[in-house]
Structure formats: structure tokens, C-alpha cells
Amino acid sequence: MTTEGSGTRRRFAAVAQWWRRARAYSGDERETLLMLGKSTLAATLAWVVAYDVLDSRSPAFAPFSAVLIMQVTVYRSVTQSLRYVGAVIVGVLVQAALGFLAGPDLLTFVVVALIALAIGRWPVLGVQGPQVATAAFFAFSTYTASSGDSHRIWRLGEIVVLVLIGCVIGTAVNVLVAPPLRYRSAEYGIHSLAHTLHDLLADMYPVLAEGVPHQDVTRGWQDRAARTGAMIGQARSGLQTAKESALFNPRRLMRRYRGHPGFQGYEAVLGALERTLYQVAALTRGLDRSREKDEAVRPFLQRYAAFLKSAGAVAEVLTTLDETTLPQQAERLERLTDEAEARRDEVIGETERLSLSLSDPASPYGILVTEATRLTEEFRYTSEVLLDLAHAEDR
């Protein structure tokens, strides 16, 4: 069996697995196929209108524009199309003004490029800013290839019309053909952070139950907790995408989505998870300071391990957060939060029984008890938010 043949089989297997995922459930693979299909449809319709109906000499502007503004949400399609059309109009006007004043020579092109590139940095245009210069360059090419002022004006106006046609068709296809509604991307961000929290706690509590952890172990926990910053940013980006997907989207009027409680609750849960991860990071730093003999603190660490285990159970519920089963999950989260608070109280009771100092800054116990209290407060807050969401859906 050759290495090349084995590699080819792996590639075919990967492609087959990709297609199976696309058929099996809604995810990135299916979204990719849907976006490809919608972009192809929009480009084809724009080409037919520009080439067959209008008999344009530059029909490619229309399908290019249709594909360019095909975005992951309807809101972004609308806003980006407005910015794109504005950028094209400005670019064409810059070229037209200078072209008719100075003529189509090299110096005019230099001035057109300078002005168009400067305008393209205008923050209002956002990512469409570079299209000012692109439109000006295409307009300059069209201007130099035409003869007569009236013909030049017609050709420059045609560019704007074709761009408008492409944007209208692209936006219409995105709105009317399976408009993207990404409520679940808000849940995915929560799932990701909750998985991280659960996995970290699941690794911590068995070690603590055995005694004082080695410094290398606690440093490893600290590093894992510190690396969650990027994940938090991704989760917030997913929540923002979910919010945008509901704007200007006709699917949100369907029965399936009318009862959705909105994103305020998910944003609150995401904020609570973010704070929880910071608290766990502080907790790991506290554990790193615990260097007393095992026998002296073993009962306390065993109680603390039981608390972390109950905290992990709370995080596990959030790894499967789903609006379709929200009432059951909210009730389960409330019960598990009660258990976590009970384990927290046992930790506090153990510190009193062992006469461990909670106020000594050199001692880790005050930090550990404080972070345990903060964690349970965040869990209680999260359970109350989800219960409110569940009751909102019932109404």
C-alpha cells in the first residue's frame, strides 16, 4: 500500500464524513452548502438580468456585487449592501469629476487613486472602504475606453446601476431563500465555555480529594483557566451574530420563533460564565499557595473537592443548554445549585472545625472560601435567569 494511495483514501474519507455531517444535522457544513447555493443563485440571476435583459457591456459587475454582499445574516447583507453601493457611487463620482475636468491621462489617474484611497479610510464605510478605489479604477478604465462625453456618462452610470441590481438581487435571495437565523450560535458559545469549566473542575476535584496538589499541577490549572480569554471573545461574537440574525429576518415571524425569549437571558448566562471562569482562575491561584502537610488540611480539601464536583455538575447542565428543553434544564440547574450551596456550607463548617484562618492574607483558605461563595452566587443567578426564560416561553 503506497503512501500516496493511503493519503488519497484519507482525503476521500474526510470528504465523505463532511457530507455526512452536512446531511445529518444543521451545522457549519450545512451552512456552507446553503451559502454556496444561495450565492450561486444570486450570481446567476444577476448575470441574467445584466447580460440578457439589459444587454450590458460590463455584466460582471452585477453577479460580483450579488455575491459580495451575501452575508451570514440578513442584517449584515442589508448594511453591507448600503455601504458597498455608497462606496461605488463615491468612487465613480470621484473619477467622473476629475476625468471630465482633467481628461484621462496618467496624472488624473494618480489624483483619482489618491482621493479614492483617502475616502476609503472613512470609518462609516467600514470593510467596504476599499471598494471606493476599486470602483474608481474600474470607472477610469471604462472612461478611457469610451469616446464622447454622453457615452462616457452612460457607461459610468451603467456601473452604478449594475451594482444596485446585484445588491438588490443578493439581498433578496438572502432574505427569501432560507434566511439565516442563528439563534443557536448564542447557545454554542455557552456550550463551549461550560465545557471548558466542567472539564477543568472535573480534573481538579479528584486531585484535591487526595490531598495538597503538586505545584506543577496547580500551575497547569492556572494556565488552562488563563487561556479562556479567546474562547470568551468567540462566545460573545457568536451571541452578537445571533442577535443580528433576527434583524430584518422574516423567519423570526414564524410560529417556531415567536415564543423565543430573546437574547438578554443568554447574554446574562454568558456573563455569569465569564465571571465564573475568572473566579476559578483565582481559585487555582489560591490552591497554588496551599503547601501545608496533607494531614492538616486533608479534611478541608476533601470538602472542597466535593464542592467542586457539585460545581462541575452545574456546569455540565450548561453544556447542553437548549431552548427546546429549557424548563427541565432550569429546574435541574436549580436543584444542583442547591446542592452546590450545601457543599459550600460544609466547606465553611470545616474551616471552623479545623480553626483555619480565613483572614490571614498568607493563608489560601480565605481566598478559597470567598471564591466558592462567588461561584455559588453566579450559579444561583444563572439558574434564576434560566427559570425566568422558561417561564417567559410558557406565557
Q: Are 228 and 193 in contact (CB under 8 A)?
A: yes
| SS3 (DSSP) at 362 | coil
Quick one: pLDDT at residue 107? 92
**Model pLDDT for residues 192-201, shown as the tens digit of each residue:** 788 888 888 9
Quick one: pLDDT at residue 64? 93
Helix axes 365-394, 264-288, angle to 10 degrees: 170
For 149, phi and psi rounded to 5 degrees? -60, -40
Rounded to an integer, what distance in angstroms lies between the CA atom of residue 212 and that of residue 301?
7
Quick one: pLDDT at residue 257? 44
The verdict on domain 183-394 having CATH code 3.40.1390.20 is no
pTM: 0.56
What are the start-end ranges of the H helices in 211-228? 215-226
What mean pLDDT do residues 12-20 have?
76
Cell numbers given for 165: 441590481
Quick one: pLDDT at residue 255? 40
Rounded to an integer, what distance in angstroms lies between the CA atom of residue 152 and that of residue 89?
15
**Model pLDDT for residues 62-119, shown as the tens digit of each residue:** 999 999 888 766 777 788 889 999 999 999 999 999 988 888 889 999 999 999 999 9
Rounded to an integer, what distance in angstroms lies between the CA atom of residue 291 and that of residue 218?
11
Cell numbers given for 23: 446531511
Model confidence at 260, pLDDT cuts 50, 70, 90, reads: very low
**Model pLDDT for residues 291-345, shown as the tens digit of each residue:** 555 556 788 888 999 999 999 999 998 888 777 777 888 889 899 999 999 999 9
Does the pLDDT at position 164 exceed 50?
Answer: yes
- What are the structural domain ranges in the chain? 27-176, 183-394
Residue 326 Cα to chain centre, angstroms: 22
Quick one: pLDDT at residue 298? 81
What are the start-end ranges of the H helices in 260-293? 264-288
Residue 128 is inside which H or E element, if any? none
Model confidence at 24, pLDDT cuts 50, 70, 90, reads: low
Quick one: pLDDT at residue 25? 54
**Model pLDDT for residues 367-394, shown as the tens digit of each residue:** 888 889 999 999 998 888 888 877 765 5
Quick one: pLDDT at residue 4? 61
Q: Tell me what the pLDDT averaged over the chain comes to.
A: 81
Rounded to an integer, what distance in angstroms lies between the CA atom of residue 170 and that of residue 180?
14
* Sequence-distant (≥ 6) Cβ neighbours of residue 330 within 8 angstroms: 383, 386, 387, 389, 390
**Model pLDDT for residues 92-108, shown as the tens digit of each residue:** 999 999 988 888 889 99
